[in-house]
Amino acid sequence: MINSKELSYKYDVSGEIHEHDFIYEFIKNHPGFPKAEDAIRHYFSNGNNSAEKLKAILSADLGININENRSFLEFASGYGCVTRHLLKKLPEFEFAASDIHPEANQFLEKISGCKTVQSHKVPEEYPTHTYDIVFALSFFSHMPRTTWSRWLQTLVNRLNINGFLIFTTHGLASHKMMNSPILEDDGFWFQNNSEQSDLETTDYGTTITSPLFVLNEIHKIKDCKIRLLKTEHWWTHQDLYAVQKISL
């Protein structure tokens, strides 16, 4: 367990990093961060920047009053790289975090006191509570074809009417960054590898989806509409989408 008091004070969040935090492990092993202290600082600054970015999207792009009480789910939250900052930046929201790893949920409850929801490998078995906003950062960038669209449908089903699902994908900029593997005809590509060694790579690997593929999948869901698309918006290469659930 790492505990950075300096960064805890700077960002006014818990300074603890769980020993199994896969995001921190990815940063720590990146050649751009040869020193542990550099990796720790990037972990916190990256989480803070993502929280700021989402706050701006909610307010400026989607016109949501972030000072009103709204139910919010951070889906696939991991060990709280972004979560701890979102809780500070969106204090009026009724917040829940959700991950497939039980120890990640337990850790988040410990360091932040937020509610957590245990995720499931089968989309249709995910708990049925609904929310005004669901946020899934870099989740669809890992789903295989067998569950990609099912998770999209499941998360739309977890929205209240007029609620928003906000998510990111590996798009065409990511495709170029990954040496341009050959996409299938509909704009989908999946490879059995990821930074999470404890998950089956057939269930959680590396996925690229063209905007055309994503928009086609969104259009198949009758009770939602695309409200926002920003290519290369997250980390300069992931595409951002926001869909809204509508009343039929």
The pLDDT value given to residue 151? 98
The whole-number pLDDT of residue 121 equals 94
Residue 239: the pLDDT is 98
Q: What is the CATH number of the domain that holds 175?
A: 3.40.50.150
More confident residue, 202 or 228: 228
Over residues 207-211, the mean pLDDT reads 98
40 within some domain? no
pLDDT at 86: 98
Predicted confidence at residue 3, as pLDDT, reads: 87
Show the domain range for 239: 120-245
172 domain residue, yes or no: yes
> Closest Cα to residue 208, out of 178, 247, 244?
178
What is the pLDDT averaged over residues 56-79? 98
Residue 199 · residue 144 · CB < 8 Å: no
- Token reading at 240: 């951002």
Q: Is the per-residue pLDDT at 199 higher than 90?
A: no
Domain assignment of residue 66, yes or no: no
94-118 tens-digit pLDDT: 999 999 999 999 999 999 999 999 9
Closest CA to 43 of 32, 56, 27, 55: 27
CA distance linking residue 14 with residue 26, whole number of Å: 20
Angle at 16 between CA 58 and CA 143, to 5 degrees: 55
Residue 85 located in a structural domain: no
Is the model's pLDDT at 219 over the cut of 80? yes
> Does residue 31 lie within any of the structural domains?
no
pLDDT tens, residue by residue, 116-174: 999 999 999 999 999 999 999 999 999 999 999 999 999 999 999 999 999 999 999 99
pLDDT digits (tens, 9 = 90+) for 23-54: 999 999 999 998 999 999 999 999 999 999 99
Q: Is residue 14 part of a domain?
A: no
Determine the pLDDT at residue 200: 85
Is 184 inside a domain boundary? yes
Give the model's confidence band at 248: pLDDT under 50 very low, under 70 low, under 90 confident, else very high.
confident
pLDDT of residue 95: 98
Centroid of chain to Cα 198? 19
In a domain, 37, yes or no: no
Q: What is the DSSP string of 103-123?
A: HHHHHHHHHH--EEEE--SSG
Return d(Cα 4, Cα 21) in angstroms, integer: 15
Count of structural domains, the chain: 1
